[in-house]
Amino acid sequence: MEEIIRQSKVRRRSGDRGKIPRVFRGVDFVSEILIVSVLVISPWAFGTTESWSINLVNSLNYALGLLLLGKHIMRIATGYRTEFWDVRGSLGTRIWILLMGAITFFLLCYIGVSAWNARAVYQVQEQQFVYQEFVSWLPHSYDQAKSWERFFRCLGAACFFWALRDWLLTKTDRDKAGSQVGDRVSERVRRVLWVICINATLIAVEGMMQRLTGTNKLLWLIQPEINAHNSGQFGPFAYRSNAAQLFNMVWPATLGLFLAMNRHHLRGIGRGPETVLVLCFAILVACPFLTSSRLGAVMSCFLILVCLVIIVVRKWLTKRGSSTFWSLLFLVVLVGGIWLNWGDLVKRFTPSTGDETSGRTEIYINAKKIVADYPVFGVGAGAFGAVYQLYREDSTQYWHAYAHDDWLEARATLGRVGFGAVVSLLILAFGHGFMGVGVPLPTDLALYLGVGCMGVLLTALGDLPFQIYSLLIVFLTLLAILSSSVIPRKS
């Protein structure tokens, strides 16, 4: 009764400030269409690794940013106050938004200044640097073109994150109609997660069909220059590990969404549409092993262990049947995935006379020299590939474009200043759940979203997930949900 009275008062207060503008509803609807479009298109567009696909996703993200700006202008001009899940007047929320916004703006300016104040322009055809005047005490880059490219990509990612977060925090009519408790998932969080889970499952199925047909063309359309053979690809991704990284991000979220939507677990399986998520979950857990990615398979095993620990700790005392069911399902899927690709996995993990790290040890040694030489500002966002050639011991060493360690590459390209800004953003985003305001997020869902994020952050210690735009988009989506949510005490 108190909740109904409170909501009626909120509606009256909102009505006093002005009726909901039709154009605002239209803008909000278009924002949802663009968000879904980015989530669906980005992985299918060959992972958004080519110039045309990066430009396409950037354009959609810029449009989201303009729509977000339009929403704020309409709120000011019409007096309409959107009913949010969080309490915008709370001091903690204001400080959090101020810090996140300020650091985001600083990081964009930091990368933009380094591109504008470039120390050199790298000419790809001649493979040489053309040095120019620059301000030494400002951030600077050794590859101006690549730094501008990273600036525009980061700008698009920032637009996507903030537009998605604003959209998630807006209450729908269905959210307003019912009392939100800890065992329910808000309407918009549920929609976004359904899109991610179903889309990733379709990519997994397509990837398996592509492997079975033996084609060397991604989506049966184009043959990539790198990993030109079927065994090195998976689905629309030219690099099989990128596909495994997508699946390892999404399957914990799929598990969490099912548990959050089906609070009775075993007793409710088969009685709701969320049962489809069990099939999606099984396919996504098995696929990192089917990709033949060593790091993907190892990370999947680790995440399975973490999830099993969470399930046992949270459910064993009250619902042992549920714990047993999920343990058996994990075991069946794990054994099935390994068995289906046993031959390739044995080859991948069998020791040979070569470098078992695929040359990564050599890259790390050279990359650490770059970090030591440019500790403050780094060599500039995106400039790792151009500068790396200068740190090879001899010309016989392979010229790598990426460090295959995103944490190390961030230190080399952004320096202490830029790297510190990135870490600060991550800490603030993950710390939002402790503020006590935001979208109510069931504990199960929050935990498994965190597991998915933890998996990709650990993977970044030995690979390059954040260099792939589509994977960055999925990570930012999970981060946007966590950074706009709060875990109710009774969930």
DSSP 446-461: HHHHHHHHHHHHHHTT
Output 359 or 424, whichever has higher pLDDT.
Answer: 424
Q: Is residue 345 domain-resident?
A: yes
Alpha-helical regions (H) of 79-143: 91-116
Residue 242 DSSP SS3: helix
**30: nearest Cα among 70, 58, 2, 3:** 70
- Per-residue pLDDT at 454: 94
Q: Is residue 190 domain-resident?
A: yes
Tokens coding 128: 């040489």
**47: nearest Cα among 165, 224, 191:** 224
What is the overall mean pLDDT for the chain?
Answer: 84
Q: Is the pLDDT of residue 430 over 50?
A: yes
- Per-residue pLDDT at 154: 96
- On whether the CB atoms of residues 383 and 448 are closer than 8 A, the answer is no
Query: Could you count the other beta carbons within 10 Å of the beta carbon of residue 457?
Result: 16
- Per-residue pLDDT at 151: 96
Residue in the block written with tokens 């470039």: 118
DSSP 19: P
- Per-residue pLDDT at 13: 44
Burial class of residue 182, CB neighbours in 10 A (0-12, 13-18, 19+) = middle
Helix (H) or strand (E) holding 151: helix 144-169
- On whether the CB atoms of residues 263 and 314 are closer than 8 A, the answer is no
Output 335 or 8, whichever has higher pLDDT.
Answer: 335
Q: Is residue 105 domain-resident?
A: yes
- Per-residue pLDDT at 254: 94
Residue in the block written with tokens 């909901």: 20
Output 314 or 248, whichever has higher pLDDT.
Answer: 248
How confident is residue 440, by pLDDT bands cut at 50, 70 and 90? Answer: confident
- Per-residue pLDDT at 178: 59
Q: Is the pLDDT of residue 1 over 50?
A: no
The full length of the chain comes to 491
How much is the CA Rg of the chain, to the nearest whole Å?
24
DSSP 268: G
- Per-residue pLDDT at 321: 57
- Cα–Cα dist 243/245, whole Å: 5
- Cα–Cα dist 367/413, whole Å: 10
Q: Is the pLDDT of residue 159 over 70?
A: yes
Tokens coding 176: 């307003």
Over range 237-259, report the average pLDDT. 93
- On whether the CB atoms of residues 57 and 42 are closer than 8 A, the answer is yes
- The residues, any chain, with a CB within 8 Å of residue 190's CB and separated by 6 or more, are 257, 261
- Cα–Cα dist 8/12, whole Å: 6
- Per-residue pLDDT at 224: 84
- Per-residue pLDDT at 266: 46
- Per-residue pLDDT at 401: 86
- The residues, any chain, with a CB within 8 Å of residue 213's CB and separated by 6 or more, are 220
pLDDT digits (tens, 9 = 90+) for 3-61: 444 544 444 444 434 456 788 888 889 999 999 999 999 999 999 999 999 999 999 99
Q: Is residue 393 domain-resident?
A: no
- Per-residue pLDDT at 459: 94
- On whether the CB atoms of residues 201 and 280 are closer than 8 A, the answer is yes
- Per-residue pLDDT at 10: 46
Q: Which amino acid is at 287?
A: C
Count structural domains, the chain. 1
Indicate the range of 154-168, 220-234, 274-288, 355-369 predicted with least confidence. 355-369
Over range 363-378, report the average pLDDT. 92
pLDDT digits (tens, 9 = 90+) for 96-129: 889 999 999 999 999 999 999 999 998 888 788 8
Over range 153-167, report the average pLDDT. 96
Tell me whether strands 128-131 and 120-123 are parallel, antiparallel or unpaired.
antiparallel
Q: Which amino acid is at 177?
A: A
Q: Is residue 361 domain-resident?
A: no
**CA 346 from centre of chain:** 30
pLDDT digits (tens, 9 = 90+) for 347-356: 776 766 555 5
Q: Is residue 363 domain-resident?
A: no
Q: What percent of the chain has pLDDT over 70?
A: 84
Q: Is residue 194 domain-resident?
A: yes
- Per-residue pLDDT at 108: 97
Question: For residue 321, what are the domain limits?
Answer: 2-354+402-486
End-to-end CA distance of the chain: 21
pTM of structure: 0.90
Output 447 or 437, whichever has higher pLDDT.
Answer: 447
Q: Is residue 369 domain-resident?
A: no
Over range 394-416, report the average pLDDT. 89
- On whether the CB atoms of residues 456 and 138 are closer than 8 A, the answer is no
